[in-house]
Structure formats: structure tokens, C-alpha cells
């Protein structure tokens, strides 16, 4: 039994307004070819297939076209779980139709743990048991209690996640025992999840959200039952082994989601269950669109651009000017510098101008320089909120944000 583990496609994501459908299409074409070349039996996608809960038609087209391609390949099974960016009802809507293509979709926590346990068969021979646990939303695993502290809330959330995995894995272990009694031994138990583990690595600008309010976002690896032979995780965009446990891994995102990931090697994970221990290898994902961040003085920036032009680069650029002089026509100068190339400037940060604006408390500052937390902090500053009240207000604000982000707009 050979599986391929991937996650965090974020189909439909743009980069500073630039659509990236060509990159997504190129990745999915490459993935389909890799599945054939590696003779993959089952594809596991650990959440965040789409970047938003209401994906555009073209993003949907890429998704369904890929599933049709894989269903006509040698790959016998596809298992998809929802991530925190996905709409559970949107993913679940065609699940009965997709099941005819051997595509199994789990969009949200099910009423019965048995529905999250999939037995992958080949001519009635069990090949693997998959605990397909989707992203567990706060409301799925915890009931709010009056007067609870943030520590109480975190403890109950951790307990809820742990109990859910224990319950689902117990069902899988029972099925494996039944298979063993039938003569099918060493059936691997594979689990999936979309969460944030303790010690997990992130990078600047990757768009990875904290999943819960407070510290629960980082759950310990001891939460997962020891019966799991391989745990395919999603949510973090950096490929990584969790807690030095080789069988617990994030595959990471296949495309760099921002310039902080531009120099990272992207991967998918192939796991071969051909004995008592899984044979795990990483496959590098090709770079479909070069992203380059240039930081420095105007001379440094222009020199780098000229060097890239000699290399016939078609990179998308993020430029941060850090020179001492205020350059009011920076955009015009940089556009002129790349005019005879195929490069694109996706963002310019004029650090000198920003510093001048902030230091002078100038009205030129824009929302592009702030995130939601910054805006809320400015509001508290404007209303002279005391330090004593800030922590509680910030926690409440973050909880409201999380609720809005998890709202399933496709549900009736």
C-alpha cells in the first residue's frame, strides 16, 4: 500500500491581487503525473483545498478536473478532509457523487465516529484504515460555560481534540482487529488531521491562522493515540516532522503562499507500507513561479533588477526600499526598470516613507500597513482603554474574528 500525502493547496489564492491559477493548474498536472510515476494507491489531502469558503468557479473547476483525472488513474482511493479555510458544506455537497469515483470527503466532524473511519479495499482485501479527522471547530468539541477563564477554555479544547482522536482511533483499532481475525494482518492505521502542533514552524506572510483563541492552537503530539502508523497533517505550510516522530508529518503547502516561503523547498510525502514500518520519502515539488523579495537602497534594488534581467527572469517581485532618502516616485522608477522584461512587481514597501508617516502620525498611513489586530489596538488607543481591560477585550475580539472566519456561508 502506497500513499501520497499533500495539503494546503489554497486553490484560488492570489498574491497581492495577482491570480495564480496557472500555478495551481501546473501543480495539479504535476501531481497527477507523480501519482502515476510513483504508483500511488491512495491520495490523502489534509485540508485547505481552497483558500476561501466560497471558491471561485475556476478554482472549483481545477479541483473537480483533478479528481476526475486521478479517478481514471491507477490511484484507487482519494481521501479529502476539510481545513479551517474550507467550507464544510461546500466540500460535503457532492460527496455521494464523488464516492462513485472512490473519492471520500469528510467536510466536518460527523455525528458518529465510525463515519470518519474509512476502510480502503482492493478487491475486498483491506489495504489500509484511514481515520479522516477534519478540522475540528471550537463549537464541535467544546461547550462554552459561564464564568470560564481562558485557561479553562484551552484545557477543555485540548481535551475535546484528544477525546475525538481517541474515539475515532478506537473504532479503527477494532476494525483492524476484525481484519486480523480474518487473516489480514499488518493493515496500516493512518490518521489525518488539520491542526497546529506544539513546536510547529511557520514563516512570515504564509497566511496561517491561529485556529483557536488562546494557546490551544499548539497541541502536543502526545494527544494522538500510539496505534497510528502514519499521521498526515495539514495547516502548516512548512514541510516538517513533528516532535522528532518520523511518522507524524506536515507535507506543507505545494506553492509558496507568500514571499516568506519563496526560498523554501516545497514537498509532497510518499509513504510505502510494505512491511512492519512505513517507508517514508519526500518528493520535491517543482517551482512553477519564481518569487523574489528585494530589500535595500535604490542602487541595491536597481542592481538586483538588472541582474535578474540578464538571467531572463520572469519573477514576481516584492520590493522593500530601506534607503535614507525619501523617494516620492519610487513606483515609477521601478516600473521603468522592469519595462523591458517579463518580471512583475507585486508589492512595493517604501520603508522610509512608512517610517516618516508613523513617526509623524500622518494620515497617509493605509490599511495595507495594518492587520486586524493593529486596527483594534489603534481603536483601543483612541478610546484610552486601560491596560487592565486590554487583555480581556483583545481575547473577546479574537474570539469574534475566529467565529466569523469559521462561519460556513454555504450552509443553509
What does the pLDDT look like over 46-91, one tens digit per residue?
Answer: 999 999 999 999 999 999 999 999 999 999 999 999 999 999 999 9
Q: Please, what is the Cα angle at 7 between 292 and 290, to 5 degrees?
A: 15
Q: Contact, 209 vs 217, CB < 8 A?
A: no
The answer on 355 and 299 residing in a single domain is yes
Domain-embedded: residue 40 = yes
Q: What's the rounded Cα separation, in Å, for the pair 269 and 247?
A: 11
Single out the residue in 263, 284, 305 at which a domain terminates: 284
State the DSSP code for 111.
S
Sequence-distant (≥ 6) Cβ neighbours of residue 55 within 8 angstroms = 11, 12, 63, 90
pLDDT of residue 396: 73
What does the pLDDT look like over 213-243, one tens digit per residue?
Answer: 444 446 788 889 999 999 999 999 999 999 8
The answer on 369 and 262 residing in a single domain is no
Domain-embedded: residue 412 = no
CATH of the domain at 65: 3.60.21.10
The answer on 218 and 194 residing in a single domain is yes
pLDDT of residue 214: 43
Domain-embedded: residue 107 = yes
pTM: 0.85
- Classify residue 16 as left (phi > 0), alpha (psi -120 to 50) or beta: left
The answer on 300 and 216 residing in a single domain is no
The answer on 253 and 109 residing in a single domain is yes
Domain-embedded: residue 125 = yes
Which residues of the chain register pLDDT less than 70?
144, 203-218, 351-371, 399, 402-412
List the domain range (segments joined by +) for residue 167. Answer: 2-284
The answer on 210 and 321 residing in a single domain is no
Domain-embedded: residue 411 = no
CATH of the domain at 345: 3.30.160.720
Q: Contact, 102 vs 78, CB < 8 A?
A: yes
pLDDT of residue 353: 54
Single out the residue in 255, 284, 313 at which a domain terminates: 284
The answer on 295 and 278 residing in a single domain is no
pLDDT of residue 100: 92
The answer on 208 and 88 residing in a single domain is yes
The answer on 332 and 252 residing in a single domain is no
The answer on 166 and 121 residing in a single domain is yes
Single out the residue in 260, 284, 308 at which a domain terminates: 284
The answer on 280 and 348 residing in a single domain is no
The answer on 86 and 220 residing in a single domain is yes
pLDDT of residue 412: 61
Q: What's the rounded Cα separation, in Å, for the pair 25 and 19?
A: 12
Split into its structural domains, the chain has a count of 2
Judged on CB neighbours under 10 Å (0-12, 13-18, 19+), 82 is buried
Amino acid at each position: 500500500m502506497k500513499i501520497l500525502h499533500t495539503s494546503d493547496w489554497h486553490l484560488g489564492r492570489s498574491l497581492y491581487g495577482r491570480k495564480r491559477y496557472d500555478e495551481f493548474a501546473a501543480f495539479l498536472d504535476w501531481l497527477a503525473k507523480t501519482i502515476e510515476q510513483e504508483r500511488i494507491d491512495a491520495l490523502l489531502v489534509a485540508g485547505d483545498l481552497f483558500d476561501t469558503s466560497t471558491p471561485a468557479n475556476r478554482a472549483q473547476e481545477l479541483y473537480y478536473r483533478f479528481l476526475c483525472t486521478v479517478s481514471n488513474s491507477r490511484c484507487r482511493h482519494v481521501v479529502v478532509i476539510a481545513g479551517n479555510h474550507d467550507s464544510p458544506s461546500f466540500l460535503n455537497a457532492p460527496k455521494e457523487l464523488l464516492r462513485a469515483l472512490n473519492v471520500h470527503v469528510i467536510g466536518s466532524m460527523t455525528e458518529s465516529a465510525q463515519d470518519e473511519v474509512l476502510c480502503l479495499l482492493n478487491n475486498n482485501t483491506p489495504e489500509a484504515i484511514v481515520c479522516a479527522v477534519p478540522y475540528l471547530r471550537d463549537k464541535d468539541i467544546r461547550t462554552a460555560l459561564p464564568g470560564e477563564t481562558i485557561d479553562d477554555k484551552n484545557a477543555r479544547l485540548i481535551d475535546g481534540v484528544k477525546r475525538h482522536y481517541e474515539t475515532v482511533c478506537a473504532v479503527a483499532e477494532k476494525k483492524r482487529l476484525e481484519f486480523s481475525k480474518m487473516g489480514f494482518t499488518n493493515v496500516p492505521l493512518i490518521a489525518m488531521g488539520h491542526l497546529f502542533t506544539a513546536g510547529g514552524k511557520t514563516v512570515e506572510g504564509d497566511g496561517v491562522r491561529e485556529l483557536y483563541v488562546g494557546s490551544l492552537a499548539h497541541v502536543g503530539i502526545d494527544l494522538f493515540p500510539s496505534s497510528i502508523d502514519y499521521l498526515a497533517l495539514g495547516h502548516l505550510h512548512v514541510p516538517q516532522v513533528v516532535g522528532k516522530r518520523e511518522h507524524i508529518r506536515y507535507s506543507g503547502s505545494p506553492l509558496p503562499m507568500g514571499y516568506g516561503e519563496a526560498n523554501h523547498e516545497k514537498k509532497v510525502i510518499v509513504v510505502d507500507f510494505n512491511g512492519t514500518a512505513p517507508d517514508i520519502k519526500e518528493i520535491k515539488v517543482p517551482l512553477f513561479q519564481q518569487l523574489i523579495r528585494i530589500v535595500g537602497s535604490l542602487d541595491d534594488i536597481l542592481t538586483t533588477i538588472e541582474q535578474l534581467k540578464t538571467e531572463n527572469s520572469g519573477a514576481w517581485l516584492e520590493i522593500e526600499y530601506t534607503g535614507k532618502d525619501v523617494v516620492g516616485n519610487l513606483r515609477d522608477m521601478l516600473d521603468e526598470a522592469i519595462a523591458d522584461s517579463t518580471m512583475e512587481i507585486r508589492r512595493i514597501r517604501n520603508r522610509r516613507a512608512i517610517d516618516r508617516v508613523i513617526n509623524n502620525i500622518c494620515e497617509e498611513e493605509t490599511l495595507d500597513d495594518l492587520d486586524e489586530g493593529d486596527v483594534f489596538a489603534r481603536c483601543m488607543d483612541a478610546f484610552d482603554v486601560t491596560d487592565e481591560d486590554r487583555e480581556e477585550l483583545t481575547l473577546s475580539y479574537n474570539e469574534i474574528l475566529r467565529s466569523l472566519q469559521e462561519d460556513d456561508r454555504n450552509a443553509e
